[in-house]
Amino acid sequence: MKSKLKDDAILKISMIIIGTGTIIYWLIMIVSRGELLTTYFVNDTTNTYMDYFNMLANVSDLDPYKTYANYPPLVFCFLRVMYHMLPIMPGGDDGFILRNYEPAQLGYILFIITVLFCFIVLTSTWIKNDDKYKWMYTFLLLTSGPMIFTIERGNFIIVALIAVMFFLRYYDSDDIKLRILAYIALSVAAAIKTYPAVFGLFVVDKRRWKEVFFLVVSGAITFFAPFMAFGGKRDVIRMFQGIMISSGDQATIGSNYNFSLVNLRNMILEIFNINLCLSDLFFQLGGLVISVIMFMLADEFYKKVIALTLMCIWTPAFSYTYMLVLFIPILLILCTKNNTSKIDYFYGMCLSFLLCPIALPFVFEESIYKFPISYSTAILNIILLVMAGVLLVDVMSNKLRIIKTCKVDNA
């Protein structure tokens, strides 16, 4: 059954924003010969796809955590299978050599095509509009800034995105089989990127305690069991050490392409030379607490999803641009929502702008950092903060309105 024209408005506005923003960006790239390309995409132009190929090289000797990798082991189980596509060769433990090696390249191509196919199928089942809008919007999401950034990096968050989308689509299905599949999908997402585990709060919120237990057990098995394929307990320790090492490195490489609250402090220091003298833990706990408050007070599903997505982005020490792909399922929820209100349009516009690549220069012509801050990243962080601030005020004011109404009714 097709949605009414009014219910299509957010979809159409989102299409205009993402489509216009993306076209403008690439036109600027063509006219300027890519002069501003590295203000939005990573400025290490020799490092393309290396999130994938570096991790592929790590499984060459079945010891992926020897370099303190920060991916959970399920990723390396998959990569071990992909590594078996390769003939035995010298240099198989070097990610750059693998990236330039045809059998390894073909594996990555197959991986990306499969993931994008799953994305297209899921998106098409979500949007019930006319085909022309459904396929146009799917194409715009596929070519949005964060999606291109993710593919260019070769980051496995693209698999976690598919799993999270499936979970959000079916976790509340009337069909118990679909719900179980949704829980398994979330377990896989958490076993790839860890932080999607927070979406399990939706199952807790439904008070389905047997299913909560299943989700916890499924998540624990999916996360920890693959360690047995490698170094067991030793690698559990080394993975968490790797997370700590990579988190500590972020302060030394600059603030660009990063959307965590810890990075917000670093941005303020880099741009305004103002030292807030507050620890990383303060910002991480602050983002966690604010997100939980918004989740608990929100009265609509998509607002709760925004709150948990902000938790995923804000809480880590670093959240690169690829993390913004987690806003895609929220847009799909909004675009298929009936009885939209004015505030829904605001969130839809903010989310759409966050998916647009922006072609603006670096703030400083010279910098000591590897990733110097750009106006592109600064503006996207501001949009994110404004959306979060409005959401906090929105959910708190709605809660106060409900409390006042209850008091009047009881008087």
Q: What is the largest CA-CA distance in the chain?
A: 81
CA distances from 226 to 75, 131, 232 (A): 9, 41, 8
- Distance (Å, whole) CA 19 – CA 24: 9
Residue 411 has pLDDT above 60, yes or no: no
> Could you read off the pLDDT of 306-360 as tens digits, one per residue?
999 999 999 988 899 999 999 999 999 998 888 888 899 999 999 999 999 999 9
Kindly indicate the confidence band of residue 410, based on its pLDDT and cuts at 50, 70 and 90: low
Kindly indicate the confidence band of residue 6, based on its pLDDT and cuts at 50, 70 and 90: low
- Tell me which of 162-176, 252-266, 368-382 is least confident: 252-266
Report residue 49: phi and psi, to 5°: 70, 5
Judge contact between 134 and 127, C-beta under 8 A.
yes
Q: Which of 19-23, 246-250, 263-267, 406-410 has the highest mean pLDDT?
A: 19-23
Query: Residue 91 has what pLDDT?
Result: 75
Mean pLDDT of 169-193: 95
Q: What is the mean pLDDT of the chain?
A: 90
> Beta partners for 320?
258
3-class state of residue 154 by DSSP:
coil
Helices (H), 127-260: 131-142, 145-153, 157-170, 176-193, 201-205, 209-224, 233-253
Judge contact between 344 and 10, C-beta under 8 A.
yes
- Distance (Å, whole) CA 176 – CA 182: 10
> Could you read off the pLDDT of 92-109 as tens digits, one per residue?
789 999 999 999 999 999
**Helix, strand, coil in percent for the chain, rounding step 5:** 75, 0, 25
Query: Residue 318 has what pLDDT?
Result: 84
> Beta partners for 371?
254
Q: With the CA atoms of 375, 379, 380 and 386 taken in that order, what torsion angle do they form, in degrees rounded to the nearest 10?
A: 160
Phi-psi region of 210 (alpha: psi -120 to 50; beta: other; left: phi over 0): alpha
3-class state of residue 374 by DSSP:
strand
Model's pTM, two decimal places? 0.92
Residue 375 has pLDDT above 90, yes or no: yes
- Distance (Å, whole) CA 82 – CA 109: 11
Residue 1 has pLDDT above 90, yes or no: no
User: Would you tell me the crossing angle of helices 176-193 and 157-170 to the nearest 10 degrees?
Assistant: 160
- Distance (Å, whole) CA 349 – CA 340: 13
Residue 76 has pLDDT above 90, yes or no: yes
Angle at 42 between CA 376 and CA 196, to 5 degrees: 85
- Distance (Å, whole) CA 204 – CA 181: 17
- Distance (Å, whole) CA 142 – CA 57: 28
Query: Residue 162 has what pLDDT?
Result: 97
Query: Residue 407 has what pLDDT?
Result: 66
Query: Residue 38 has what pLDDT?
Result: 93
- Distance (Å, whole) CA 259 – CA 80: 31
